[in-house]
Amino acid sequence: MPLQIIRNDITKVKADAIVNSANTKPIYGSGTDESIYRAAGASELLAERKKIGPIAPGAVAVTPAFALKAKYIIHTVGPVWIDGMHGEFDILRSCYTGALEAAQELKCESIAFPLIATGADDFPREQALRIAMDAIGAFLMRDGVEMAVKLVVYDQAAFRLSRDIFYQVESFINDAQVLEAHRRAYGTETDPEKRGYRRRYREVTGTLRRHPDFFRKDPDDEDTFDEDTFDRQRFTNDGSEGFAFRNHLIKLLQEKGIDNHIAYKRSNVSRKVFSKILCGETLIPQKKTVLGFCIGLRLTIEESQALLACADMAFNPYNKRDRLVIQCILHEQYDVRVVNEMLYACGQPLLGTEN
């Protein structure tokens, strides 16, 4: 854990295993397949691949990674899209599950996937994305599985949700219900000039004016304070205050009867980060981690506000990420993978993705 969605060239991603959307025959084609061969060293990798021979659709095979920033390349053959009635969905799911199981057998701690079969094989991107997220998510929820998974897309457009879903998301996070819920909870003005949101953080830290580098340069930005970057521990006189978050989190886990490993996996938080919080090494986590817990622990708005308050944070209804999370909670959408898909489609930071 966790699952990350990143925009990059997969040949430049550092992971124990890199997944290649391969050809059935021991040759390499175009797109991701060609990029991986050239980056790894085409002649060496091709010679190794010829030793394996043909690979059936949905099956996997492993070779060394040669010049890549990885230990292994896991080759898997995606389905050629016909009409969805020829086993394409099952084959694609087998590609992801098989690659993950192979990585686990190789004791890999991290693995990077392209969006398999969406290039020359013409698998519809939205459906391919759904299968990828479901297969990876189901694998990560297995007992004993601790692996960092990266889904690598080459550009933002390649990951866009369908037009209808994207417009639903835009409407979803601009709903006036969010502002009204915030007004009821905090009794604050909805006018950003009157609400005093930034002033609250000055009161918490007492030092923000002396640290302008923690503010974004654009004065018209929705949320001028970057809570994921700001390190509150640098400005905490009494470190014991930070245990309020840990203690509240433990209380929530006990009240809801959620085991630790279920809690951090549902929240898309790594075991390492979760352990540091419980052990008191991390007094106040980043906001994306706290929001991940709000979704993963299936908290109500009131419970979420209380958890955020223990970390000296609050929902900002003028920040797109916070608006979307608020609406997901109001609509009881507690699948962190779905929430992160929406966030990525909107160009927002994902929840819980700390290593």
Contacts of 346 (CB under 8 A, 6+ apart): 169, 170, 173, 320, 321, 324
- Measured in whole angstroms, the distance separating CA 9 from the mean position of its chain's CA atoms is 17
Cβ atoms < 10 Å from Cβ of 110: 19
Rounded to whole angstroms, the Cα distance separating 244 from 298 reads 20
- Annotated active-site positions, please? 33
Which is nearest to 313 in space by CA: 294, 287, 332? 287
Whether 29 and 54 have beta carbons less than 8 Å apart is answered as: no
One-letter amino acid for residue 281 of the chain? E
One-letter amino acid for residue 225 of the chain? F
Rounded to whole angstroms, the Cα distance separating 111 from 13 reads 9
For residue 262 the two structure tokens come to: 């279920």
With H, G, I as helix, E, B as strand and everything else as coil, classify residue 132: helix
Beta bridge pairs of residue 75? 20, 61
With H, G, I as helix, E, B as strand and everything else as coil, classify residue 228: coil
- Measured in whole angstroms, the distance separating CA 104 from the mean position of its chain's CA atoms is 20
User: Sign of the CA dihedral 195, 200, 201, 207?
Assistant: positive
Burial state string for 303-341 with b = 16 or more CB within 10 A and e = fewer than 16: bbbebbebbbbbbbbbbbbbbbbbbbbeeebbebbebbb
Cβ atoms < 10 Å from Cβ of 36: 26
DSSP 242: G
Whether 146 and 103 have beta carbons less than 8 Å apart is answered as: no
Whether 346 and 331 have beta carbons less than 8 Å apart is answered as: no
